Amino acid sequence: MSVVEERCTVLTQEVFEELARHAIRADEAVRLEFVNGKLGVKAVPDGDHGRIIEWLTRLCMQADPTLWLYPEQGLRIETYRKGNARPDGALAPSGTFVGQGEWASADGVLMVVEVTSNDADTDRRDRVEKPRAYAETGIPVYLLIDRDAGEVKVHSQPDGVRYEQVVTVPFGKTVELPGPVGIELDTAPLTAWAR
């Protein structure tokens, strides 16, 4: 274990939040997260990544105008270990995060969305650590748009440890985002924004 890894394992949530505030002021290209007791750096989104979030936001608004897909909203996650994640999108009723600041409670979040980025941590972060952390937090649905694999994974039915159901479909197919989201998602447009 390196000195950096060792120090990161004893990092508290409060120290992380202060570090993240300073990092964002110093360099807008840096997005820090604290998931599964580890400090992580999230890649800044590219144009296709942004287009996917735009597309998904429109679909969510059409399905239920009382909901909003909040991009990059910082969330406090995990019940066992305190953590902080900045999902690409957090679907919640409009006004859910008013007055909560940069790192908000995940209460009221119906779905979190991650779109894979071209960085070395994507596999560990988006495919392993975040599903577990979001399930521990009790977020009902985790949608992973995996541009590298050309597929969508819908995680649902969190049991406090993991998501009990995971449905995987290739880009181009339709998949149901289960309740409380309740949206049928035609993934065909994603083929234009995959790598």
Query: Which residue, 67, 84, 71, 68, is CA-closest to 14?
Result: 84
Q: Tell me, what's the pLDDT at 40?
A: 56
Q: Which residues contact 142 (CB under 8 A, 6 or more apart)?
A: 111, 112, 113, 114, 130, 131, 134, 135, 154, 155, 156, 163
Domain ranges of the chain: 45-193
pTM over 0.85: no
pLDDT digits over 89-133, tens only? 999 999 999 999 889 999 999 999 999 877 666 667 778 788 999
CATH number for the region 45-193 comes to 3.90.1570.10
Distance separating alpha carbons of residues 84 and 37, to the nearest angstrom: 9
pLDDT profile of the chain (195 residues), mean per 10: 46 64 48 56 62 95 96 83 85 96 94 84 75 94 94 96 96 97 96 85
Whether the ω angle into residue 65 lies within 30 degrees of 0, i.e. cis, is: no
Distance separating alpha carbons of residues 156 and 33, to the nearest angstrom: 23
Outline where 11-118 has alpha helix (H).
13-26, 47-63
